[in-house]
Amino acid sequence: MVNAISILGCTGSIGRQTVAAAEHIGLRVAALTAQRQIGLLEEQTRRLKPAFVAVFDEEAAKQFKIAVADLDVRVGSGLQGLIEAATYAESDCVVTAVSGAIGLKPTLAAIDERKRIALANKETLVCAGELVMARAKEKGAEIIPVDSEHSAIFQCLMGRKPGELHKILLTGSGGPFRGKARAELEDVTPEQAVAHPNWNMGAKISVDSATMMNKGLEFVEAMHLFGVTPDDITVVIHPQSVIHSMVELVDGTVIAQLGVPDMGLPIQLALSYPERKPSPFEHLDFYKLRDLTFEAPDYEKTPCLKLAMDCARTGGTAACVMSAANEVAVHKFLRRELGYNRIYDAAAGAVAAVGVVQHPDLDTILAADQAGRIYVNEKF
């Protein structure tokens, strides 16, 4: 049972929805962190009255400290501040909603303190899945996924016995450019890529959904989280995003999790688990649901998905290099410095150029992340 939480990355899309879920189910928010968006952070701090707040950016941390000088709150900064928030004694759950490899050390520190990890940071498992899952098992820390697909799989597996799972059916909408050939996407603008048909998300993950790199990252995550091989996961395109993923059991039975496409639902469950509580979200109306359709992914049209699945098979640091390179490329695309199709070229180029290390430790993982970033910054 969770009584108090720390939110790492409280001003982003997932962070803001976590604040809303915590307020809805009446959880204490003991610690918050943000990168540098101190206006919103001050608002949240005044309302939630956390005991500790960390601002990653040192300069912004100084300004924030002055802004909340009248409050009874301690202010930290940098990676040390993030780690302090993640291990804050009063919190029994840490929501990791920061983006990038910066979430790794704080997550491992929280695992060492046996806190529940409500995992919303993809890089944690994409880059360090082996290490993080082994550490969580060793320490007895729970990892509850926040990503809608992984939350769905987690829910479908509730009460299942080991050996009953045959296959994970990872669903994805196909994004705004489903069915479009690479040649048709040459001139895609950031505005077009960010406009997702079903989900309202941050800019980076919206671009990843358009390229389907997001599904690829989720593929790698699912492999680690549920302890399966790449052959045990099938990607199914389901444009309506009503089914959030499924599991197929050994007897052929398929169990699916359905709901409105709102991240608030998996966030609330990660906080309230093992209990379920009423939510403020719309419920599904099966009289209004028309067609639920399914198709196989077209890997030629979605090379990023294929690349990620190949990296999952390669193992070691391959997915970490790919993810870091992709992140830099997506930000360049959002700044209009790189064409849409070049995002794949950058990620694939980095994977080909940077050597793979199997069973990496944390320093090797962080070095692989850096190598992926340097490659794209130098070559693109």
User: Is residue 92 part of the contact set for Mg ion (CB under 5 A)?
Assistant: no
Q: CA 350 to CA 330: how far, in whole Å?
A: 14
Nearer to Mg ion, 264 or 339 (CB): 264
**Distance, first Cα to last Cα, the chain:** 47
Closest of 192, 215, 205, 365 to residue 296, by C-alpha: 215
User: Is residue 123 part of the contact set for Mg ion (CB under 5 A)?
Assistant: no
Half-sphere exposure of 159 (CA within 13 A, CB side): 4
328 token code pair: 């830099």
Q: Is the Cβ–Cβ distance between 111 and 86 less than 8 Å?
A: no
Which residue in 84, 92, 149, 327 binds Mg ion (CB under 5 A)? 149
Q: Which region among 86-94, 108-116, 149-157, 288-296 touches Mg ion (by CB under 5 A)? A: 149-157
Q: Which region among 86-94, 146-154, 222-230, 288-296 touches Mg ion (by CB under 5 A)? A: 146-154
Nearer to Mg ion, 148 or 211 (CB): 148
Q: Is the Cβ–Cβ distance between 317 and 353 less than 8 Å?
A: no
Q: How far is the CB of 120 from Mg ion (least distance, A)?
A: 10
User: Is residue 262 part of the contact set for Mg ion (CB under 5 A)?
Assistant: no
Q: Which region among 86-94, 145-153, 239-247, 370-378 touches Mg ion (by CB under 5 A)? A: 145-153
Nearer to Mg ion, 83 or 307 (CB): 307
Nearer to Mg ion, 149 or 327 (CB): 149
Burial class (CB in 10 A: 0-12, 13-18, 19+), 293: exposed
Which residue in 123, 147, 208, 248 binds Mg ion (CB under 5 A)? 147
Q: How far is the CB of 338 from Mg ion (least distance, A)?
A: 24
User: Is residue 84 part of the contact set for Mg ion (CB under 5 A)?
Assistant: no
User: Which residues is 170 bridged to in the sheet?
Assistant: 235
Nearer to Mg ion, 50 or 172 (CB): 172
Nearer to Mg ion, 87 or 148 (CB): 148
Mark 173-204 as b/e (b = at least 16 C-beta within 10 Å): bbbbbbebeeeebeebebeebbebebbebeeb
Instruction: Give me the residues that bind Mg ion (CB under 5 A), please.
Output: 147-149
